[in-house]
Structure 1
Amino acid sequence: MNSCYKIQPSEVARSAQLAMILEVSASPKPGNIDRTHDYVDTCYEHFLASATGVYPVIERAASGKEKIGQLLKEAVLESNKWQKGGNTHFGAFLLLLPLAKAAGQLSQENETFDMKKMVERAHWIVKHTDVEDSINFYQAFGKANVCVQDVEDLDLNDSDSITILRKNQTSLFELMEISENYDMIAKEWTHGFELCCRCSEQITDLMEEKGTCTDINCSIVYTFLKLLSKNPDTFIQTKFNRETAVEVSEKATAIVTQIEACGYEATLPSIIELDEELLKKKINPGSTADIIIGGLFLSIMGGMRF
């Protein structure tokens, strides 16, 4: 974006919407819903409805001082209001809301866009969450019907956990610290959105013709596979087990190696084969998709166009 132009909250929100829409539209993205693949109870259009419905919450994140936990709960409510496909973007909201809040704060301070500044501010924001954010997170979780691993002594489906949170004054950041070893999204919070930044850099480089792909669909699919190859998906790990997550990453590694040797178009049959295999087994790298959304948001905010 023009360094002299003050970014408006509406632009931050539209950037987040576009990131969600581009991610779910990219195809073939092995194991996940896209414009050519649906699940039995959740389909492509549910994701589009969620991305559209959440707009006012992200705009408020970029324009006001509302807390992350409250925004997260409201984002889930808005998502559910506009579609009946269940959880579509819970992990993505956990990434987008602090990033959008950071973008809005920097714009209000007349700072020019800089990815490093944005993620540093987002990291500062999540570090300063409190117990009320944790409670809103639990309440949002209950409404989103998310498949996650429980946090130590805290059962994410048990209302008594809120009492424990309040008693211990456990902040949302502290919950993420507890979860970081088995949840990629939590680790993004505690490690300064590191993987989101890497994805953004790769997508931007590819779109600037510095690699294998030059169109947006190829850039997203290739970045998705590369991220998956290096980071076993923790949603798969929670839904199945660690071994399954590692096996999927190994298959993604083989495809990335093939892309780098033979090119994207020549490797498409292998990508489609893995996609069909994972869909048949109902193995979906959902956390990987969420991080791709975060990376796309950073790239779009940085001026990437196609």
Structure 2
Amino acid sequence: MTGRDSPRTSVENAELALLLEVAGTPKPGNVDRHRDHDDLRFEHFLAGAVGARRGLALAADHDHAVGEAFERAVEGMSHQRGGNTQFGALLLLVPLVRAGSDGRALTTEAVEHVVADTTVDDAVAFYRAFEHVDVAVGDPPEGLDALDVRRGGAAERALRERGLTLADVMALSAEVDGVAAEWVRGFERTFEAAEWLLADEGSAPDRAARVFLRLLVDEVDTFVAKTADEARATEATRRARAALDGEEEAEALADEFVERGINPGTTADLTAGALFVALERGLEV
């Protein structure tokens, strides 16, 4: 199934995907409906999903640019006390919503067209989104300090001088950031995980938790590598495999990872994107 088969609009499905992602449990290291972090709670993610809706609506409106839609979604998401809840997930969802809007079939080719059509203005808006919340990012490549995303709107001149589109900016980070890699690779993992969701059984949050583990097993989480270190990122993947194989208790692993601050955020972002694609293709809730 590659067409659209949902009773909801794409915007409704995007908001629902964010809600279902955080409701899935256990997702080792992440906030879910059973676990909070010290400074980031389940309720913050619910509020973030609702707040992002206006930006997601702009993504479905072709009179508004993708970058504008993303910045608006992040700004709306930020209207809760937890800070950054779904920045990476929104970076996946905005082009997906654009690709599937107006009743069109949501395919990898459609998303690739959205990415290819991004502009320098979209890149500038993406940078401005960093002014709304603190986002854990690594240092820019050597010689590209002017393009450090932490500069926010102050990087506009450098972006325009280099003529960098949002697609170009994503390509610069694709080797070290799993969400940026999706932009470069045609959202390959997102669509594959959506098929896993559709082929599974049970409630949508339970399916999401299992897909989270499969994604974490499939590839080391770049957010863990960035915020902890490569060793813990590799450990997270290895132990997710043990949990998926029934050799380790997933609930206990989730508690341990929260306690140790091992937070596979990129994997959660991909799960949200996959949920959206699956909902568009008929996943029932």
Aligned residues of 2:54 and 2:72 also touching (Cα < 8 A): no
Structure-2 separation of matches of 1:204 and 1:125: 24
Structure-2 separation of matches of 1:252 and 1:144: 29
Aligned residues of 1:196 and 1:291 also touching (Cα < 8 A): yes
Partner SS for 2:78: helix
Q: Tell me if 1:84 matches 2:81.
A: yes
* Matched AA of 2:28: P
Deviation at 1:56, TM superposition (A): 2.3
Structure-1 separation of matches of 2:51 and 2:205: 24
Deviation at 1:38, TM superposition (A): 1.0
Residues 51-106 of structure 1 deviation map (CA, whole Å, 9 limit, x = unaligned): 1122222122113331111111111111123x11100111111111111111114x
Deviation at 1:277, TM superposition (A): 1.4
Equivalent pairs: percent with the same residue?
Answer: 33
Aligned residues of 1:150 and 1:156 also touching (Cα < 8 A): no
2:99 matched to which residue of 1?
102
Aligned residues of 2:4 and 2:281 also touching (Cα < 8 A): no
Deviation at 1:201, TM superposition (A): 0.3
Residues 157-177 of structure 1 deviation map (CA, whole Å, 9 limit, x = unaligned): 235533211211111111111
Aligned residues of 1:99 and 1:119 also touching (Cα < 8 A): no
Q: What is the TM-score with the length of structure 1 in the denominator?
A: 0.86
Deviation at 1:144, TM superposition (A): 1.9
2:73 matched to which residue of 1?
75
Aligned partner (choices 28, 41, 56) of residue 30 of structure 1: 28
- 1:4–1:204 CA distance, 2 compared to 1 (3 A): closer
* Matched AA of 2:122: D
Q: Tell me if 1:46 matches 2:30.
A: no
Residues 128-162 of structure 1 deviation map (CA, whole Å, 9 limit, x = unaligned): 21211111111102212110123321222235533
- Structure 1 unaligned regions, length at least 5: 208-213, 259-266
Structure-1 separation of matches of 2:271 and 2:81: 24
Count of residues in Structure 1 that have an aligned counterpart in Structure 2: 279
1:169 matched to which residue of 2?
163
2:151 matched to which residue of 1?
158
- 1:36–1:303 CA distance, 2 compared to 1 (3 A): same
Deviation at 1:4, TM superposition (A): 9.6
Q: What root-mean-square deviation, in Å, do the aligned CA atoms of Structure 1 and Structure 2 show?
A: 2.0
2:182 matched to which residue of 1?
188
Residues 249-302 of structure 1 deviation map (CA, whole Å, 9 limit, x = unaligned): 0111122222xxxxxxxx7x7101211111111111001001000100011111
Deviation at 1:227, TM superposition (A): 0.5
Q: Tell me if 1:242 matches 2:242.
A: no
Superposition misfits of 4+ residues, deviation over 3 angstroms = none
Q: What is the 5 A alignment of 1:124-273?
A: 124-152=113-141, 153=144, 154-158=147-151, 160-207=154-201, 214-258=202-246, 270-273=249-252
Which protein has the bigger helix share? 1
Partner SS for 1:97: helix
Q: What is the TM-score with the length of structure 2 in the denominator?
A: 0.92
